[in-house]
Amino acid sequence: MEQQEQIYTAIANVIRKSSETGQLVQFEEIWTELTGQGLLTSEADDQRPHLQGVVREVVKRNEDLREIPGAHGIAYFYSTQTLSETYAVILARKKGDPLELIAQIVRENSSVYPRPVPLDLFRESPFDLTGEEILACLDKMGQQREYQDIVQTTTSIGNKFLFSSRHLNPDYASTLAEWLDVGQINNP
Amino acid sequence: MAKHGGWAGKVLRVDLSTGRISTEDTIEKYKDFLGGTGIGYKVIWDEVPIGTKPFDPANKVVFGVGPLAGTGAPCNGRTAVTTLWPTCWPKPLVASGHMGGHFAAELKYAGFDAIIIEGRADRPVWLQVADGKVEIKDARRLWGQGIRRTTVEINQQMGPEASVAAIGQAGENLVPMSVVMNSYSHSAGGIGGVMGSKNLKAIGVRGTGSVRIAGNKGEWEKVVKLHLSLLGSVNQHVVPNSPQPWAEYYGVTRWVGSRGRKWGAAEPSIETGECDPRNLNRISYRTNNAVFFLGEKAWQYTVRGNGCTSCPIRCHTMLKVPAVSSKYGIPAVGQNTCAGLILGRDFFKAFPDGPMGQTAIEACMVGMHLADDLGIWENYGQMQRDFKELYYNGTIKNKVGENEFKSYSWDKYEKGDPSFLFELLTRIADKEGELATALGLGTGYHLERWGIPEQEWQKDQKVAYWKMGHPKHHSNEDAGQCGVIINTQYNRDAQCHSHVNFTRNGLPIEVQKRLAAEIWGSSDAVDALAAYTPMNISKAKMAKWSLLRKELHDSLSLCNWMGPWIASPLKERDYRGDDSIESLLYSLATGDKKSREELDKVAERIFLLHRALTIRYMETKEMRAQHDTVPDWVFTDPASKASFTQGTNRMDKEDIKLAMDMYYEEMGWDKKTGSPTAAAYRKLGLGNVADELAKRGLLP
């Protein structure tokens, strides 16, 4: 019983520590960490399914801990004490298809704030895409039906913004992009 | 006085004509007006006769600070300088300029809540205020010097801790578009010429005293900590401009600090880090105004953030651009914020490497170097907009003599060469030639001199001119009808940030609407940007609240460029700020316990006195028709989009009439004239003001 509690605490600590560094953690990493701490025997592979259940139990018991589905059916874990849901979702999507990542970010921004997003956003952390990668993604998106709502608009100083036509009409998106890129700065 | 904390207790009066120096009891005479603009308006009301011109000895300049200046309250570094305004057209009316820096705190520590300057010295002088001791000193050696040299010389005499508010050559030469500046980059526009007309080169203040906090010290510390926890970045943008681990929201805001971003010119360079809002020791790393206005390239030139007393925001960015030393022969280091930072760049239409390139940054450095030494004011970018418009539409060529026109290097100007600024700005300060003299007058008088009807400027959206010689300052583009109402109320640009610091804070519109409902009674008070809806009463409430908070801040010495603090970066507070923070701080500092509503009433009294002054000097009660006007461009759209459709800031004329009706009603003023009624004055303890206006037939 005491050892079980020790494992529960160790799992929560692994998740929280990972979040403190701005990262998600997946089951395999938790397994490795616990093994490294001597809490699991390395040969106990048959314990894996059981331990996955334990991790989920730990998440249930701790209000700050969350599970988030990532690409290829991999689950990730994080603590809301140091990682917001928004950021965690970006990190989880980053592990999958970059086209989907860009499209979802653009759609959310168009719907929630609402606003178009500058292309350069995707060069920033945590996206960390290069200019070439972004352009390649946009090129591919242009050819795929599911991304036809992702549209570009260019401001008067030549910067590109993206928006989703599901949430913003092109005219409005273009006004907002111009404001964000030029208007705000001219109205200090 | 022993009963009160906050105030120093004395107002200093200096008559430069006679050399008489006297003091008055702040509490006895001015407590009902708090400080800052409140004292300023009261002095002008009581003492400056109708018909006085800004540069007459009878005009007075009031350097007013408030009961929170010099305390530990965040963002308390503002000094309000109130006078009859030289660029207010067609006749001068009361207005105030506002400077940050360290003048406000030093003045309090020296024992004063305000300095009233009157008369005119018979020779150049400067005023030394040191721990209650006041001396008028000979400034003949300083006259003709720039602000930097003057500051250095006075600091050598008074010590490096002294705060020196000085004018440059522009002020000495009675250029209306001139500033007074302290701490090298903190200026109040419009004041330089008024000081120059009094032969007053500078005021140096140094105090070793302190400000007493009347209330419980533990409570005070708690409220200060609460206030700090609510702060965002500059202009109270409460979400970062890129996704960060701690942040639920992100946006295109002025909160630019983030992991991996560095002050590249610091030695060694300093990473701003993520600036988690719960870490109060990282507030200063959130803002880098140079990066916001000049682009990513500015990171490499950033030495650090700089700013005012007790303000962790540090909105003045110190830049070190080595190339400008060899190219232009100016110091590599400069600092300023917002309009002051981009002053040089704004004169040009284009640069060879774009608006965020190296040349644009160099233009900013040259602009700061010249304007902040010569003491030139740019009127929130209006001088530069006027200049560009008048050059490119051919007016300058037509209005200026051929020889003078040829004396400028227009080829350099059109190519975006920053060295052109050496030709233009020095001549403005010296009133040399027609072009420079006209630009130095301010827009209203400049247009009149060149025979251009004001209405022409009011038609043109890109010139962004509002009325009475001044531009718009956060109007419909930022807050629809609320912004329009605010821009009708002052005798210069409105300088009000209460509304825009909320609408631009970066939170999603639904969160803004939820917070708006709590403060102004309905989520309809705010609209999404460029998606404005018709007028409603909550927008009028927001406008009134915004104006009163501005006056409150200007009277307490809190910064209305940073506040109010009704939203916060804190998810655990559902992004709420605290609408009572000013009254909590005021009550504890002074011991005069006032609720939020009670303190707002004092702010309303101050604002009403400003209104009364405007009516008295305009000599008409027809404010709605003659003062609270809205330029035509507000009702236009470059693509002819209709009002209340997405993608336009265009307002509707009938709707704005309704907006003004609702606003006047909310203020308790007469709707027909836009003037406060006798009852409105009396309700706020301004019966004497009502009586005087009644005698002059200026009540509705």
Q: Compare CB distances from A84 to B245, B477, B529 and report the shortest one's residue.
A: B245
CB-based contact, A85 to chain B, within 8 Å? yes
Of the pLDDT bands very low, low, confident and very high (cuts 50, 70, 90), residue A39 is confident
CB-based contact, B647 to chain A, within 8 Å? yes
Q: Are A20 and A82 in contact (CB under 8 A)?
A: yes
Residue A42 has pLDDT above 90, yes or no: no
Fold assignment, B10-206:
Aldehyde Ferredoxin Oxidoreductase;  A, domain 1 (3.60.9)
Share of chain B above pLDDT 70, in %: 100
User: Residue B362 and residue B261: Cα distance in Å, rounded?
Assistant: 22
How confident is the model over B481-498, as pLDDT tens digits?
999 999 999 999 999 999
CB-based contact, A32 to chain B, within 8 Å? no
In this structure, the number of other CB atoms found within 10 A of the CB of residue A136 comes to 14
Residue A4 has pLDDT above 90, yes or no: no
Contacts of B487 in chain A (CB under 8 A): none
CB-based contact, B249 to chain A, within 8 Å? yes
b vs e for B663-697, b when ≥16 Cβ sit within 10 Å of the residue's Cβ?
Answer: bbebbbbbeebbbbbbebbebbebeebbebbeeee
Instruction: Supply the Cα-derived Rg of chain B in whole angstroms.
Output: 24
CB-based contact, B470 to chain A, within 8 Å? no
Q: Are A82 and B246 a contacting pair at CB < 8 A?
A: yes
Mutation choice for B interface testing from A128, A175, A182 by most B CBs within 10 A = A175
**Residue of chain B whose Cα is closest to the Cα of A172:** B647
User: pTM of the prediction?
Assistant: 0.97
Residues 6+ apart with CB under 8 A from B510: A112
User: Residue B255 and residue B505: Cα distance in Å, rounded?
Assistant: 10
| Token code pair at residue B53 | 């011109």
Name the residue with tokens 């003001």.
B689
**Residue of chain A whose Cα is closest to the Cα of B503:** A113
CB-based contact, A1 to chain B, within 8 Å? no
| Token code pair at residue B154 | 């006075």
List C-alpha distances in Å: B269 to B272, B285, B300: 10, 13, 9
Alpha helices by DSSP H, B531-683 = 537-556, 581-590, 596-618, 623-626, 653-667, 678-683
CB-based contact, A83 to chain B, within 8 Å? yes
Q: How many contiguous H segments (helices) and E segments (strands) does chain B have?
A: 30, 19
Q: Are B647 and A175 a contacting pair at CB < 8 A?
A: yes
Contacts of B356 in chain A (CB under 8 A): 157
Q: Are B245 and A86 a contacting pair at CB < 8 A?
A: no
Residue A30 has pLDDT above 80, yes or no: yes
CB-based contact, A175 to chain B, within 8 Å? yes
Contacts of A85 in chain B (CB under 8 A): 248
> What does residue B600 show for φ and ψ, rounded to 5 degrees?
-60, -30
Instruction: Supply the Cα-derived Rg of chain A in whole angstroms.
Output: 21
CB-based contact, A180 to chain B, within 8 Å? yes
> What does residue B640 show for φ and ψ, rounded to 5 degrees?
55, 30
Contacts of B531 in chain A (CB under 8 A): 172
Length reported for chain B: 700
How confident is the model over A64-79, as pLDDT tens digits?
999 999 888 899 999 9
Predicted pLDDT of residue B636? 97
CB-based contact, A113 to chain B, within 8 Å? yes
Predicted pLDDT of residue A45? 67
**Residue of chain A whose Cα is closest to the Cα of B274:** A22
Name the residue with tokens 């499209």.
A103
User: Residue A185 and residue B344: Cα distance in Å, rounded?
Assistant: 14
CB-based contact, B381 to chain A, within 8 Å? yes
CB-based contact, B528 to chain A, within 8 Å? yes
Name the residue with tokens 């420079």.
B436
User: Residue A135 and residue A122: Cα distance in Å, rounded?
Assistant: 11
How confident is the model over B390-435, as pLDDT tens digits?
999 999 999 999 999 999 999 999 999 999 999 999 999 999 999 9
Residues 6+ apart with CB under 8 A from B215: B5, B587, B588, B589, B591
User: Residue A32 and residue A40: Cα distance in Å, rounded?
Assistant: 9
Max CA pair span of chain A: 66
Q: Are B166 and B144 in contact (CB under 8 A)?
A: no
User: Residue B160 and residue B335: Cα distance in Å, rounded?
Assistant: 19
Average pLDDT over every residue of B309-325: 97
Angle between helix A98-112 and helix A131-143 axes, rounded to 10 deg: 80
| Token code pair at residue B193 | 């010429």
Residue B515 has pLDDT above 80, yes or no: yes
Q: Compare CB distances from B245 to A83, A124, A183 and report the shortest one's residue.
A: A83
Q: Are A188 and B531 a contacting pair at CB < 8 A?
A: no
Average pLDDT over every residue of B283-292: 97
- In the sheet that holds B302-306, the strands lie side by side as B302-306, B316-320, B333-336
Q: Are B476 and B532 in contact (CB under 8 A)?
A: yes
Bridge partner residues of B116 (DSSP): B13, B62
Predicted pLDDT of residue A1? 64
Contacts of A84 in chain B (CB under 8 A): 245-248, 571
DSSP string, B53-70: -TTSTT--EEEE--TTTT
Q: Are A65 and A15 in contact (CB under 8 A)?
A: yes
Q: Are B591 and B3 in contact (CB under 8 A)?
A: yes
How confident is the model over B433-451, as pLDDT tens digits?
999 999 999 999 999 999 9
Q: Are B248 and A172 a contacting pair at CB < 8 A?
A: no
Q: Are B342 and A188 a contacting pair at CB < 8 A?
A: yes
Q: Are B52 and B65 in contact (CB under 8 A)?
A: no
Listed in order, strand segments (DSSP E) in B353-487 are 465-467, 470-471
Across chain B, mean pLDDT equals 97
**Chain centroid, CA A167 distance in Å:** 21
How confident is the model over B175-187, as pLDDT tens digits?
999 999 999 999 9
CB-based contact, B522 to chain A, within 8 Å? no
Q: Compare CB distances from A113 to B251, B339, B646 and report the shortest one's residue.
A: B251
Instruction: Identify the CA nearest to B293 among candidates B249, B250, B346, B239.
Output: B346
* ipTM of predicted complex: 0.94
Q: Are B246 and A84 a contacting pair at CB < 8 A?
A: yes
Q: Are B265 and B301 in contact (CB under 8 A)?
A: yes
CB-based contact, A165 to chain B, within 8 Å? no
Handedness of CA B646, A185, B338, B494 (dihedral sign): negative
Residue A43 has pLDDT above 80, yes or no: no
Contacts of A153 in chain B (CB under 8 A): none
User: Residue A171 and residue B275: Cα distance in Å, rounded?
Assistant: 35
- In the sheet that holds A65-69, the strands lie side by side as A25-26, A75-79, A65-69
CB-based contact, A118 to chain B, within 8 Å? yes
Q: Compare CB distances from B248 to A85, A121, A171 and report the shortest one's residue.
A: A85
All CATH 1.10.599.10 domain ranges in chain B, comma separated: 473-695
Predicted pLDDT of residue A52? 86
Fold assignment, B473-695:
1.10.599
Three-state secondary-structure class, residue B196: helix
CA distance B67 to chain A (A): 28
Q: Compare CB distances from A172 to B252, B571, B646 and report the shortest one's residue.
A: B646
Residues 6+ apart with CB under 8 A from B284: B305, B312, B313, B314
CA distance B186 to chain A (A): 16
CA distance B362 to chain A (A): 17
All CATH 3.60.9.10 domain ranges in chain B, comma separated: 10-206
Contacts of A15 in chain B (CB under 8 A): none
DSSP string, B586-602: HHHHHS----HHHHHHH
Predicted pLDDT of residue B1? 42
Contacts of A172 in chain B (CB under 8 A): 530-531, 646-647
DSSP A145: G
